[in-house]
Structure 1
Amino acid sequence: MTTTMPLADRRIAAWGWPLIALRLAAMLALLVASVALYYIFAPFTARNPVPRRFLRGVGAIAGLRVQVRGARPARRTFFLANHVSWLDILAIAGRTGSAFVAHDGLAQIGPLRWLCEMNDTVFVARHERRSVSAQIEQVRAALSDTGALTIFPEGTTSDGTGTLAFKSSLLSAIEGDSDIPVQPVWLDYGAETRTVAWVGEEPGLDNALAILARWRPVDLTLHFLPPLSPEDRADRKRMAAAARTAIEAARTGF
Structure 2
Amino acid sequence: MATAFAMPRQLSLRAWARVTLRLAAMAALLLVCIPFYYAWAILRMTNPWPRIFLGGVATIAGVEIKTAGVKPRGPTFMLANHVSWIDIPALSRITGSAFVGHDGLASMPVLKWLCRMNDTVFVARHDRTSVADQVEQVRHAMTDTHALTIFPEGTTSDGTGLLPFKSSLLSAFEPLPAGICVQPVLLDYGPDAAQIAWVGEEHGLDNFLRILARRRAVEVTIHFLPQLRGAQLTNRKTMAQAAREAILQALAR
**TM-score calculated relative to the size of structure 2:** 0.92
- Match in the other structure for 1:6: 3
Give the letter aligned to residue 241 of structure 2. A
Percent identity, please: 56
Cα distance, 1:134 vs. partner? 4.1
Q: How does 1:149-164 map to 2 (within 5 A)?
A: 149-164=148-163
Q: From the superposition, tell whether residues 174 and 205 of structure 1 become closer, same or farther in structure 2 (CA, over 3 Å).
A: same
Separation in structure 2 between the aligned mates of residue 156 and residue 80 of structure 1, nearest angstrom: 13
TM-score by length of 1: 0.91
Partner of 2:187: 187
Q: Take 1:234 and 1:92, find their aligned partners in 2: how far apart are those partners? A: 26
Q: CA deviation at 1:209?
A: 0.8
Task: Kindly report which structure 2 residues correspond to 1:10-29, keeping only aligned pairs within 5 A, or say none.
Answer: 10=7, 11-29=10-28
- 5 Å-filtered alignment, 1:37-48, equals 37-48=36-47
Residue range with higher mean Cα deviation, 197-206 or 7-16? 7-16
**In 1, distance between residues paired with 2:227 and 2:83?**
21
The Cα offsets for residues 174-195 of structure 1, whole Å up to 9 and x where unpaired, read as: 4353521100000000111010
CA separation of 1:38/1:144 partners in 2, compared to 1, >3 Å: closer, same or farther? closer
CA deviation after TM superposition for structure 1 residue 126, in Å: 3.4
> 184-193 or 162-171: which moved more?
162-171
Kept in 1, the 8 Å contact 2:174–2:235? The answer is: no
State the Cα deviation string for residues 142-183 of structure 1 (Å, max 9, x = none): 334542111100000011111111111243424353521100
Deviations 1:38-59 (A, max 9, x none): 1222234542011111100011
With over 3 angstroms needed to count, the CA separation of the structure-2 counterparts of 1:226 and 1:43, relative to structure 1, is: same
SS in 1 for 2:59: helix
What is the CA–CA distance in structure 2 between the aligned matches of 1:126 and 1:251, rounded to whole Å?
27
User: Which consecutive residues of structure 1, in runs of 5 or more, have no partner in the other structure?
Assistant: none
Tell me how far apart the structure 2 counterparts of residues 78 and 162 of structure 1 sit (CA, whole Å). Answer: 22
In the alignment, is the contact (CA less than 8 A) between 2:69 and 2:225 conserved in 1?
yes
Shift of 1:115: 1.1
Per mean C-alpha deviation after superposition, the further-off stretch among 149-158 and 91-100 is: 91-100
Specify the SS of the correspondent of 1:250.
helix
- 1:132 positional shift: 4.2
Rate the CA distance shift 1:61–1:139 in 2: closer, same or farther, 3 A.
same
Q: Is the 8 A contact 1:132 1:169 kept in 2?
A: no
Task: Please name the residue that 2:71 is paired with.
Answer: 72
Cα-to-partner distance string for 1:53-108 (whole Å, 9 max, x where unaligned): 11000111011111111012113100000000000000111111111111122212
| Structure 2 contact 165–244 (Cα < 8 Å) conserved | yes
Question: 8 Å contact 2:71–2:95 — kept in the other structure?
Answer: no
Q: Aligned ranges for residues 74-93 of structure 1 at < 5 Å?
A: 74-93=73-92
Aligned to 1:219: 219
Q: Is the 8 A contact 1:228 1:239 kept in 2?
A: yes
CA distance in 2, matches of 1:8, 1:83: 19
CA distance in 2 between counterparts of 1:184 and 1:125 reads 22
- The 5-angstrom pairing of residues 1-254 of structure 1 reads 4=1, 6-10=3-7, 11-132=10-131, 134-172=133-171, 173-253=173-253
The 3 A distance-change label for structure 1 pair 211 and 8 is closer
Instruction: Tell me: CA distance 1:226–1:61, structure 2 relative to 1, closer, same or farther (3 Å).
Output: same
1:5 Cα deviation (Å)? 5.4
Paired with 1:141 and 1:8, the residues of 2 have a C-alpha distance of 40
Task: Sort the Cα spacing of 1:246 and 1:144 in 2 relative to 1 into closer, same or farther, 3 A.
Answer: same
How far did residue 231 of structure 1 move? 2.1
Q: Distance in 2 between matches of 1:230 and 1:251?
A: 23
Larger CA deviation: 88-97 vs 127-136 = 127-136
Give the C-alpha shift of residue 133 in structure 1. 5.0
Aligned length: 250
